[in-house]
């Protein structure tokens, strides 16, 4: 039986060769399987090292990269579908929902950048409950925040904020 020293934990003869295994690549609750992987596994610490004599590492890496790319494109398409359903321009979506840069939604929709998880959850919530857009519009004008600030610090509502003049 083939054995070698583990590079991670240093155990001698702990690495045992395997072949024909299936590994799962996962990212944010999405997974893909990569079959027929060959390599070495440490019986002490569980370290895995792909076999250099096969294409296992390359196939695993390609599957990982493809999963990330597919995920980004799928999320981008979903963001675009929801934005259009809500009758928002990209500019309006940034202003109302994310506060990001002016090109943020364009980059999300092309799959160049992943949106924050909170933004994606908000978009999905609005997809299921589009009537909440009226609340989003009402909250975005800031009147409720001005009222909250005024109620906490009423003396500051009438302060003269002319700087440098006394």
Write down the domain spans for the chain. 1-54, 75-144
How many whole angstroms separate alpha carbon 35 and alpha carbon 72?
23
What CATH number labels 1-54? 3.10.20
Pick the CATH number of 75-144 from 3.20.20.150, 3.40.190.10, 3.40.50.970, 1.10.260.40: 1.10.260.40
Instruction: Look at residue 131 in the predicted model and tell me its pLDDT.
Output: 96
pTM: predicted TM-score of the whole model, two decimal places: 0.69
How many whole angstroms separate alpha carbon 150 and alpha carbon 159?
12
Query: What is the maximum span of the chain, computed from C-alpha positions, in angstroms?
Result: 89
* 21, burial (CB in 10 Å: exposed 0-12, middle 13-18, buried 19+): middle
Instruction: Look at residue 149 in the predicted model and tell me its pLDDT.
Output: 72
Number of residues assigned to the chain: 166
Tokens in use for 41?
A: 């596994």
How many whole angstroms separate alpha carbon 60 and alpha carbon 56?
6
Q: Do the first three CATH levels of 1-54 and 75-144 match, i.e. the same topology?
A: no
DSSP structure class, residue 25 = E
Q: What DSSP assignment string belongs to 52-113?
A: TTSSHHHHHHHHHHHHHHHHHHHHHHHHHHHHHHTT--HHHHIIIII---TTHHHHHHTTSS
Q: Going residue by residue through the chain (166 aa), what tens digit of pLDDT does each one get?
A: 677 889 889 888 889 999 999 999 999 888 999 999 999 999 999 999 999 899 999 999 999 999 999 999 999 999 999 999 999 999 999 999 988 788 889 999 999 988 999 999 999 999 999 999 999 988 887 767 777 777 776 766 655 555 554 4
How many whole angstroms separate alpha carbon 140 and alpha carbon 109?
23
How many whole angstroms separate alpha carbon 154 and alpha carbon 138?
23
């Amino acid at each position: 039986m083939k054995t070698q020293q583990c590079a991670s934990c240093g155990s001698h003869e702990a690495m045992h060769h395997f072949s024909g295994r299936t590994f799962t690549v996962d990212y944010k609750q999405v997974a893909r399987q990569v079959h027929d992987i060959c390599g070495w596994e440490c019986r002490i610490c569980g370290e895995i090292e792909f076999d250099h004599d096969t294409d296992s590492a390359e196939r695993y890496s390609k599957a990982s990269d493809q999963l990330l790319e597919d995920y980004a494109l799928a999320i981008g398409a979903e963001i675009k579908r929801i934005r259009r359903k809500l009758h928002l321009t990209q500019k309006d979506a940034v202003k109302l929902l994310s506060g990001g840069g002016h090109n943020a939604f364009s980059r999300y929709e092309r799959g160049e950048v992943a949106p924050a998880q909170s933004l994606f959850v908000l978009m999905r919530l609005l997809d299921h409950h589009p009537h909440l857009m009226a609340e989003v519009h009402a909250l975005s004008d800031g009147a409720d925040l001005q009222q909250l600030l005024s109620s906490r610090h009423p003396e500051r509502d009438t302060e003269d904020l002319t700087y440098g003049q006394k």
